[in-house]
Amino acid sequence: MLEVALAFTRVGLLSFGGGSASQLLMRKELVWKHSWITDVEYNRVWQLSKLTVGIQQIGQVLLYGRRLAGRKGMGVAFAGFMLPSVILTIVMSIVLVAVIGNHYVDDALRLVIPWTGGMTMATALQMWNPAVPQAARQWLRIAAQGLIVLICSILVGVVHVPVPLVMVSALTLGALLP
């Protein structure tokens, strides 16, 4: 049990850089280092976690923890993964709020905030991940997908439709497609 807790704590504390870093470290701990599960089992749970709400990696941690040591395993894996990260984030926020007002920090933030906006926009593009079109027909498909993306932006930004309504509509329309 302690080993499970330590493994997930290492994943939570060392995965700087978001989702891909977490995936790599989690696979390293569970599959390569401890051989607790196989690659196939790892991938199956990964796929499954994509269907849950909220942060998918937390869903993955819950399922791996349960698979390794039942409910207790689920609890220690979850705590090991989440607690250090949340505490560190609060500490970093405390530091940030304490230094706001300092000229150097304010100057730095004048570029850092728009920069993080750009990074977030890149994340949005990666969710879509359009392939480079090779034929005219593929151009049409990309254009149609881009139109859906644009319509969703306009619905929220211009028409002020509630975001959850747009998401549920997209899910429903997608499920209705033949």
Partner 1 sequence: MRHLAVHFLLFLKASALSFGGLGGLPILQQDLALRNVPHLNRLLGQALAVGRLSPGPNGLYVVSVGYQMDGVLGGIAGGLALAIPPFFVLLVAIWYAKVAHLKRTANALMALGFALTGLLGFTSWQIIRGSSTDVFGWLAGFAGFVVSARFRPHPLLLIGVTALLGIAIYR
Residue 99 makes contact with partner 1 by CB under 8 A:
no
Q: State in angstroms the smallest separation of the CB of 50 from partner 1.
A: 7
Instruction: Give the N- to C-terminal CA distance of the chain in Å, as an integer.
Output: 47
Q: State in angstroms the smallest separation of the CB of 107 from partner 1.
A: 4
Angle between helices 56-99 and 19-27 (to 10 degrees): 130
CB 89 within 8 A of CB 76: no
Given its phi and psi angles, is residue 133 left (phi above 0), alpha (psi -120 to 50 degrees) or beta?
A: beta
CA distance 161 to 139: 29
Residue 22 makes contact with partner 1 by CB under 8 A:
yes
Q: State in angstroms the smallest separation of the CB of 138 from partner 1.
A: 16
Only segment of 31-39, 91-99, 135-143 that touches partner 1 (CB under 8 A): 91-99
Residue 55 makes contact with partner 1 by CB under 8 A:
yes
Only segment of 27-35, 110-118, 135-143 that touches partner 1 (CB under 8 A): 110-118
Residue 101 makes contact with partner 1 by CB under 8 A:
no
CA distance 64 to 73: 8
For partner 1, the closer of residues 135 and 159 by Cβ is 159
